[in-house]
Structure 1
Amino acid sequence: MIRLAAICACALLLNCVAQASAAQVLRLPSHAQTITENTAFPDSYALPTGPFGDGHLPERVVEGRVTRQTWRIPTQGITTLQILAPLRTQLDEAGYEVLFECDTRACGGFDFRFETEVLPPPDMYVNLADFRFLSAQIGNQSHIGLLVSRSENSGFVQLIHVARAGTPPSSVARPDPDDAPQEPANAQETPEAQSLAQAIQQNGHVVLSDLTFDTGSSDLGQGDFSSLAALADFLAADPARRVVLVGHTDTVGALDRNIDLSRARAASVLERMVTLYNIDRTQLAAEGAGYLAPRASNATKAGRDANRRVEAVLLGTP
């Protein structure tokens, strides 16, 4: 009886260690909501290694300690590439080798989605018209299947991690960025970051000129915007810095509606900053000015395009 109790205690301890290890594989944005997390040992996972074609999905069955996790990222207008890219960077930094990566049609579309393992709703949501998948490994010790998708208002992430029995937890752990040695901010700043920092400190505000919005829409356009990366560098360099993101519109529509729309655009940018760059929400605020502060004539399309913008306004030290 004593021996049986000891065996059960050891099994429980190993399971706890396994769950702690899996949680360290990736670092999600601070406001990502965990939907599900479970670990099974021993277990197996059919890891996709190629696109669906000719009625077949290439797979490699891997066995070990299998952890399945899903998250929801409540951010409007985020793209699947913007979700996947920082996670892929983390895997690369942790020593993972990418085996296969694809987006919707290149994966095999509908067939890929229903041939690979996906946790059932509401644990995971997959938009059949917009998803991405990545599989990666560290030798034969650790394997990853990463699936991302999005709805109109949220991003979704599914991670299936298989660790070979006996793999130390530290092999997939990533250091907390707050604990890592920090180089001087200027040593790592890009020219764009230096230019934005200089402009906002000299003038008190700066236009995030590469952002795009369609008429009547509060959704930030798809793509990587260098102005957001530069603003993130500026804020990260000094946690005491605070900015207000102020949205502006063209003159199409009533003033009240445009003020609401411009505030929603600023809020969309704020969420992108928090989601993609892990900027503390206390450093950001969102407001709207509607069409009351144009930078160009609204009589031309080019002028209206220029007026649909978001500016970052530097606040004084509290």
Structure 2
Amino acid sequence: MISHRPKLGAIPACLAAAALLVFAVQQASAADRAGCRDFEGMMRFQNSSIALCDLRNFAEYTLPTGRITGFDFHTNEAEMEARQDLEGRLTQLLYTVPKGASSAEVFRNYRDYLASAGYRVLYEAKGPDFGAAQGSFFESRGPGGQIIGYSTDQSRYLAAVKDDGAAKTYIALYIVEYDDGYNPEVKVEKGQVVVRLDAVQTGELKNGMVPVSASEIAKRLDTSGQVILSGILFDFNKSQLKPDSRPALDEIAAFLKKDPVRKVYLVGHTDNVGGFDFNMQLSQARADAVVADLISTYGINPARLKGYGAGLLAPIASNATDDGRAKNRRVELIPQ
């Protein structure tokens, strides 16, 4: 729990209140939404409770590190002066603070705590300085909805990072004093502080996708006419293959070598984030990257391979959710 800084000469009063503060933590835990808990190693503002949460083992995340200058409501994409595109384990928490505290007070306590915990500030802003589209950005992704999207006048924002060897933890802290907006899952009063805390852990996650074996590729081609190639991974919004893709590429090459006359298409697919033209180009580049690697690394005859980018035109899930978009970002193998 993040406590208020004591005034000089007030130490005895703070010690006397220690038992009450421990009890407050227990009460906050009891009031938390079922299944939600604090981000590991992170403390909360005193007496606050978790109203909503969202946890994902692997997700893409855009961290604002500059003013948010615009927002496209058709694509849910924001324009900003600076950003970091991340991917890793994502924890998103929405806290409600009992009425009486201000957003400035809560923000100051969080900022001081993050500094003491080894986090380095990348960017911070308050109110209109963070941009008119700030509420739309946070409302569109993660828990909270309108109650954080419609209350930007007294907002506070901070982006920070903590290095831990090869791993990093990024924090996006967005704090508002509720003014307007409705969310049926959260009960909040006008003037009450609401905290959105997003934490992204990068650099420590291993690919959890099991590649399709060579024999399974052959079987699926015969039975369904196509194979989704689990384990083919790319950098965010790029066509560079990640090293973790190697086991999947090994199996594709083994399949092609066992059936040396087989010709195949490698088809790249994307979600709908970023627009039509961008996704068509990205999917083609990713398909071509797989083809190029099979040729250069495994010596597969180029005449047997053809890359094709389908972009966002053949989704297998809804693009309205992160899980659906993750399923739509894929590479498929189809016989020629």
| TM-score, with structure 1 as normaliser | 0.37
Q: Which has the higher contact order (CA 8 A, sep 6+)?
A: 1
Question: What is the TM-score normalised by the length of structure 2?
Answer: 0.36
